[in-house]
């Protein structure tokens, strides 16, 4: 059957991630497709022997394999200067919020989505990340020796050959809805929150594709530091990241500016919507104190 259509993927993904057989009513609710569209897609999937009796078949799982997330890469090398004084002794991803390290929630969400191959790019107080191995022995570390003289693009240079079929995470995001981390993706995408206005980093989006990244805007999408890169885009990133980094001023760039700004004609990155309540970026010590009263002393 070759590559799945978007509708075939959307329906088959529901089967692939469900723990029990799905009824047509459940599929209508979960996909939002009209009944006649869903009927046609189900007939196609059944004709291809991808679905039988409301359950995905082994052939269906094989058809989904090119869309499976193979690994997760965490960008975790920075100092976290706006979280001083707490980051004097602790890298920001390892700061505890209500008793749990920030990065643990993201790693747990990956493991729940059956993403077992996990890499952390570390730099500042690198040895402290070793504590994660007690709970997560599968983690592999990548060292960023220039984290204090370059922006986070330097971390992506270290990880550039690992970005196909991969999530890339900013490691300091406090996740409250692990379900936003998915086992399968159809195309490369960036997580974002629809906003009437924002002063933060945001995207301009046309027909579901990110056309511009900027700081602040009206009627835009506020960027969340979680993205997925399919196999082809991951291969392109391995080249484009290094070339951008080596240009004049390249060390000052943020890594996501490679596909979204400097080489954006090489990519068509979709926006993937999440809610404000799904995830929190704790930028400052004041924000940390507001969330966890233990720090408000």
CA–CA separation, 258 and 254 (whole Å): 8
Nearest to 188 by CA among 154, 151, 153, 237: 237
pLDDT tier for residue 84 given thresholds of 50, 70 and 90: confident
Entry field: residues in the chain:
297
Which CATH code is given to the segment(s) 68-295? 3.90.550.10
User: Is 80 exceeded by the pLDDT of residue 23?
Assistant: yes
Least confident piece of the model among 40-44, 81-85, 135-139: 81-85
The distance of Cα 83 from the centroid of its chain, to the nearest Å, equals 23
The tokens of 177 are what? 């809805």
pLDDT tier for residue 286 given thresholds of 50, 70 and 90: confident
User: Is 70 exceeded by the pLDDT of residue 141?
Assistant: yes
Q: Are 178 and 112 in contact (CB under 8 A)?
A: yes
Q: Can you give the C-alpha Rg of the chain in angstroms?
A: 20
Q: pLDDT by residue (tens digit) across 103-117?
A: 999 999 999 999 999
pLDDT tier for residue 1 given thresholds of 50, 70 and 90: very low
Nearest to 202 by CA among 188, 187, 219, 186: 219
- Under CATH, what is the fold of the domain 6-66? Arc Repressor Mutant, subunit A (1.10.10)
Q: Are 200 and 223 in contact (CB under 8 A)?
A: yes
User: Residue 187's pLDDT is what?
Assistant: 97
Identical fold, 6-66 and 68-295: no
User: Residue 2's pLDDT is what?
Assistant: 60
Nearest to 106 by CA among 272, 282, 270: 282
Average pLDDT over residues 122-127: 95
User: Is 80 exceeded by the pLDDT of residue 297?
Assistant: no
Domain boundaries, the chain: 6-66, 68-295
Strands 166-170 and 71-76: parallel
Angle at 7 between CA 3 and CA 12, to 5 degrees: 75
Q: Are 167 and 226 in contact (CB under 8 A)?
A: yes
User: Residue 87's pLDDT is what?
Assistant: 75
Query: pTM for the complete prediction?
Result: 0.94
User: Is 80 exceeded by the pLDDT of residue 96?
Assistant: yes
CA–CA separation, 90 and 169 (whole Å): 19
Element (H, E) at 119: strand 117-122
Average pLDDT over residues 181-210: 96
The neighbouring-strand residues paired with 159 are: none
Q: Are 275 and 177 in contact (CB under 8 A)?
A: yes
pLDDT tier for residue 209 given thresholds of 50, 70 and 90: very high
Average pLDDT over residues 61-77: 97
Q: Are 92 and 80 in contact (CB under 8 A)?
A: yes
DSSP 157-175: HHTGGG-TTEEEEETTEEE
User: Is 60 exceeded by the pLDDT of residue 93?
Assistant: yes
């Amino acid at each position: 059957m070759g590559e799945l259509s978007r509708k075939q993927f959307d329906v088959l993904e529901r089967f692939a991630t469900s723990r029990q057989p799905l009824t047509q009513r459940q599929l209508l609710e979960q996909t939002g497709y009209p009944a006649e569209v869903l009927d046609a897609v189900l007939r196609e999937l059944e004709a291809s022997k991808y679905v039988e009796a409301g359950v995905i078949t082994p052939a269906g799982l094989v058809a989904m394999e090119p869309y499976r997330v193979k690994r997760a890469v965490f960008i975790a090398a920075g100092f976290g200067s706006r979280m001083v004084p707490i980051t004097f002794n602790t890298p920001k991803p390892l700061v505890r919020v209500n008793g749990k390290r920030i990065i643990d929630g993201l790693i747990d969400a990956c493991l729940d989505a059956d993403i077992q191959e996990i890499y952390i790019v570390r730099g500042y107080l690198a040895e402290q990340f070793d504590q994660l191995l007690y709970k997560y022995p599968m983690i592999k570390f990548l060292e960023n020796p220039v984290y204090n003289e370059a922006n986070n693009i330097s971390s992506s240079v270290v990880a550039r050959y690992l970005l196909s079929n991969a999530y890339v995470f900013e490691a300091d995001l406090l996740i409250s809805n692990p379900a936003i981390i998915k086992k399968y993706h159809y195309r490369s995408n960036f997580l974002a929150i629809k906003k009437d206005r924002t002063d933060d980093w945001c995207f301009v989006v046309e027909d579901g594709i990110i056309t511009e990244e900027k700081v602040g805007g009206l009627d835009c999408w506020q960027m969340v530091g979680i993205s997925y890169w399919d196999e082809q885009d991951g291969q392109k990133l391995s080249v484009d990241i290094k070339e951008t980094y080596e240009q004049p001023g390249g060390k000052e760039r943020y890594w996501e500016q490679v596909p979204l700004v400097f080489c954006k004609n090489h990519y068509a990155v979709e926006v993937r919507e999440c809610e404000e309540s799904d995830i929190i970026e704790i930028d400052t010590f004041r924000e940390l104190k507001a969330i966890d009263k233990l720090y408000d002393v």
